Amino acid sequence: MSCVLTKQLPAAVAHRPDVALVVAGMNDTLRPDFNAGKIAADLTEVIRSLAAVGTTVVPVRYHDHGKVFRLPPSLRRALSERVAELNAAIAGAVEREGVPCLDLELLPGAYDLAAWSVDRLHPSELGHRMLATGFTERLAEAGFAVPRPVSLTCSGGVEPSTAGHVGWLVLKGVPWVWRRGREFVPYAAVIMWHAFRERLR
């Protein structure tokens, strides 16, 4: 979120857009210096700066990504707790500033594997179409004219094979988890230890 504030916001304000979609903060949940209060403050500044030039800002609240990435239960719990903190920070900023928000937890089909690309981190074509549907619904509610609904019919791209999934996991997935995990694992280990102690009681 701090990158959005310091690096992306100036360019966005210069364009004076009608709409700005703020999809940020998930990577912050994997960082050792995660700070929900700072994220809320940064998002608030982003919203106010864009609103000052007439832009309607639509932030995103997140789903439980651990369910998509199929993490072990303890790691999933650790990530879920971080995502809950992130969502609370975003929700607070949204409520204070009175802007629309797309809640991915409530987006139909958010947990269907067909909505995700081979890496389980980024949306597939169908997932992008679902996001576009959610955003246009929020914008219509905010008074923007939406001439027609977004089609959920995909254009026929190649579906990843089982070999493609395995190849991505070996060549890219595991290295990515290792790089991110070195930052996230200490926090997750604490969560796992507390869960272990609770089971012993």
**Per-residue model confidence as pLDDT tens digits over 169-194:** 666 665 666 665 556 556 556 555 55
Among candidates 193, 183, 189, which has minimal Cα distance to 34? 183
Query: What does the pLDDT read at residue 141?
Result: 96
Exposure of 118 in the CB half-sphere (CA atoms within 13 A): 17
CB 149 within 8 A of CB 136: yes
Domain interval for residue 99: 2-200
Q: What is the CATH number of the domain that holds 133?
A: 3.40.50.1110
Number of folded domains that form the chain: 1
| Band of pLDDT at residue 152, cut at 50, 70 and 90 | very high
Start-to-end CA distance of the chain, whole Å, equals 39
Query: What does the pLDDT read at residue 174?
Result: 58
Query: What does the pLDDT read at residue 70?
Result: 65
Mean of pLDDT values over 147-157: 88
* Whole-structure pTM value: 0.80
Angle between helices 36-51 and 73-97 (to 10 degrees): 40
Residue 126: other Cβ atoms inside 10 A:
18
**Residue 70 and residue 68: Cα distance in Å, rounded?**
5
Q: Under 8 Å CB-to-CB from 181, ≥6 apart: which residues?
A: none
Mean of pLDDT values over 128-142: 96
The answer to which of 28-42, 52-66, 83-97, 151-165 has the lowest mean pLDDT is: 151-165
| Band of pLDDT at residue 120, cut at 50, 70 and 90 | confident
